[in-house]
Amino acid sequence: MTIKIIACEVMKEELLRVASDCDIDFEFISMGLHLHPEKLGEELQHLLDTLSGYSRVILAFGLCGGAARNLKAAGFQLTIPKVHDCIPLLLGSTASYETFRSEEKGTLYLSGGWMNGERAILSEYDRIYQKYGERKAIAVFNRMYSSYRRVLFIRTGSEREPFFLQRSHQIAELLGLSHQITDGNISFIEKIVKGPWDTKDFINVPSGESINEWAFYEGKLEM
Amino acid sequence: MANNKEELLKQLADAVVDMDEEKAVELAQIIVAEGIDAYEAIEKGLSAGMEVAGRLFEEEEYFIPELLMCSDAMYAGLGVLKPHLKAKEGAAEEKVKIVIGVIEGDTHDIGKNLVKILLETSGYEIIDLGRDISPQKFIDTAKEQDAKIIAISTLMTTTMDGLAEVIRLLQQQDIREQFKVMIGGAPVSQAFADKIGADSYAVNAATAVRLARQLMESVA
């Protein structure tokens, strides 16, 4: 069976580690696009449309603000985890995510992957600082994150973890938030790569059909 | 004079786009001194500038920090213009009230705040509940305040069932017809609005103002 995984770069390190003994093609998408769900969706569809020769294509994404809405599978089975964003994937399950959410709604979840890229919090802060000065930068970032109370850093076993943790602490300090660390769980990411892609955790779309947004809500939206 | 007015309004819009608070204040003062209508200056200067900023955000020229700084410039100009807004003819006319907030479970309120400012400057009375608001709270407040519109925002798909819940509760309490429900936020779509039976879906802040007007015309 030939598999391709299209993934958000936020989970790049974890996915590649899990897949080190597998023959799988990977393609990674910039996490900068998560600010623009519609564009992310267009980008993903464009990529899917160019694929051929795969029996299954897995999207290592969640619904991601609606980005996965209506993505069409053509010539392969399309599989996507039944999650709203990447946090349950990093934590290992939706249940675990729910626990942290009920503990503190104003949680800023971070992992190593969230420290990379130009839209990462510290690089964005540096950009604004350089361009508009410290007073503006502080004022704007205080407002952008005013609803957050704590940073929760999810450990995923990266070799660069000490560096990531240092950045995570820096973010908490900058935004005036408390800082906590929790152990992630690689099992969901492992299932993305190796299966089983069961209907409890995944949405599987046969060739010729599209991802139905409502499947992510598991009947909750019924009127 | 006409040229001068158009030019001033354009400069005011540019000051918003350029995130220049001081310039926005200075221009607003000139506009007032020139006797230009404050409402027109808000609409064709400040709001127009925010619309451009929103477009630049879509085009990834601007990011959220820039949007916030644009809204600072807008606020600064608004502070000067607001006291000069003329009361409408026959001032007894009451403003339409809108209850606005971010749904329970979500604390992202930058978008909601932008919508609020634009609705306010367009002549509505806004009751801002803030963020993380339960569906019943929206309804209770709308009833208490005799609001005509309930405007709900969310940035997270995990909380979208709360939007549906507002409609469900209105139906259960047999008061669905008393309020118009507007929804918005990045993950919300027209298809979602149709599915839960909301009256309208606003893709951005400027559209929210237009839709609020349409909703009120439809009941007038």
Structural domains of chain B sorted by starting position, each given as residue range(s) with its CATH number in brackets: 2-84 (1.10.1240.10), 97-219 (3.40.50.280)
Digit-coded pLDDT (tens) for A33-65: 888 888 999 999 999 999 999 999 999 999 999
Is the domain of A81 the same as that of A191?
yes
Please report, rounded to a whole number, the percentage of residues in chain B having pLDDT higher than 70. 95
Cβ pair A147:B195 closer than 8 A: no
Q: What is the pLDDT of residue B122?
A: 80
Is the domain of A55 the same as that of A103?
no
Across the strands, what pairs with B202?
B184
Strand segments (E) across chain A: 3-8, 25-29, 56-60, 77-81, 107-110, 150-155, 178-183, 202-205
Cβ(B154)–Cβ(B187) below 8 Å = yes
B64: chain A residues, CB-CB within 8 Å: 35, 144
For chain B positions 138-197, those within 8 Å of chain A (CB to CB) are 155-158, 160-161, 164, 167-168, 186-189, 191-192, 195-197
Q: What is the pLDDT of residue B91?
A: 47
Strand segments (E) across A100-197: 107-110, 150-155, 178-183
Range of the domain at A166: 94-183
Lowest mean pLDDT among A162-176, A203-217, B5-19, B115-129: B115-129
Q: What is the pLDDT of residue B216?
A: 87
Lowest mean pLDDT among A6-15, A121-130, A160-169, A211-220: A211-220
**Which of B65, B161, B188 is nearest residue A221 as measured by Cβ atoms?**
B161
Q: What is the pLDDT of residue A4?
A: 96
A136 CB within 8 Å of a chain B CB: yes
Is the domain of A176 the same as that of A130?
yes
Digit-coded pLDDT (tens) for B177-188: 999 999 999 889
Cβ pair B65:A144 closer than 8 A: yes
Domain assignment of residue A200, yes or no: yes
Task: Annotate A2-21 with b (16+ C-beta within 10 A) or e (fewer).
Answer: ebbbbbbbbbbbbbebbbee
Assessment of whether the complete model's pTM goes beyond 0.95 = no
- Higher-pLDDT residue of B88, A117: A117
What number is the average pLDDT over the span B35-42? 91
Please report, rounded to a whole number, the percentage of residues in chain B having pLDDT higher than 90. 62
Q: What is the pLDDT of residue B136?
A: 97
Q: Is pLDDT at B90 greater than 70 in this prediction?
A: no
Digit-coded pLDDT (tens) for B91-125: 446 789 999 999 998 988 888 988 998 888 788 99
Q: How confident is the model at residue A27 (pLDDT cuts 50, 70, 90)?
A: very high
Is the domain of A150 the same as that of A168?
yes
Strand segments (E) across A124-201: 150-155, 178-183
Is the domain of A98 the same as that of A178?
yes
The alpha carbon dihedral of A129, A134, A135, A141 has a sign of positive
Q: What is the pLDDT of residue B220?
A: 66
Across the strands, what pairs with A81?
A202
Cβ pair B186:A66 closer than 8 A: yes
Domain assignment of residue A222, yes or no: no
Cβ pair A223:B168 closer than 8 A: yes
Domain assignment of residue A223, yes or no: no
Is the domain of A145 the same as that of A157?
yes
Is the domain of A79 the same as that of A101?
no
Q: Is pLDDT at B22 greater than 90 in this prediction?
A: yes
Domain assignment of residue A132, yes or no: yes
Domain assignment of residue A69, yes or no: yes
Domain assignment of residue A154, yes or no: yes
The alpha carbon dihedral of A117, A216, A82, A4 has a sign of negative
Is the domain of A174 the same as that of A190?
no
Domain assignment of residue A37, yes or no: yes
* Closest of B214, B20, B212, B218 to residue B97, by C-alpha: B212
**Vertex B70, ends B67 and B74: CA angle to 5°?**
135
A85: chain B residues, CB-CB within 8 Å: 156-158
Q: In what order do the strands lie in the sheet with A56-60?
A: A25-29, A3-8, A56-60, A77-81, A202-205
| Among B158, B166, B183, the residue to mutate for chain A (most A Cβ within 10 A) | B158
Is the domain of A172 the same as that of A192?
no
A51 CB within 8 Å of a chain B CB: no
Q: Is pLDDT at A202 greater than 80 in this prediction?
A: yes
Digit-coded pLDDT (tens) for B61-82: 999 899 999 999 999 999 999 8
What number is the average pLDDT over the span B202-213? 84
What number is the average pLDDT over the span B194-218? 88
Average pLDDT, chain A: 93
Is the domain of A100 the same as that of A66?
no
Is the domain of A134 the same as that of A166?
yes
Domain count, chain A: 2
A96: chain B residues, CB-CB within 8 Å: none
Is the domain of A193 the same as that of A178?
no
Digit-coded pLDDT (tens) for A96-127: 999 999 999 899 999 999 988 767 899 999 99
Q: What is the pLDDT of residue B120?
A: 84
What number is the average pLDDT over the span A66-87? 95
**CA quadruple B61, B22, A146, B58: dihedral, nearest 10:** -20
* Closest of A11, A98, A99, A3 to residue A53, by C-alpha: A3
Q: Name the pairing type of β-strands A202-205 and A77-81.
A: antiparallel
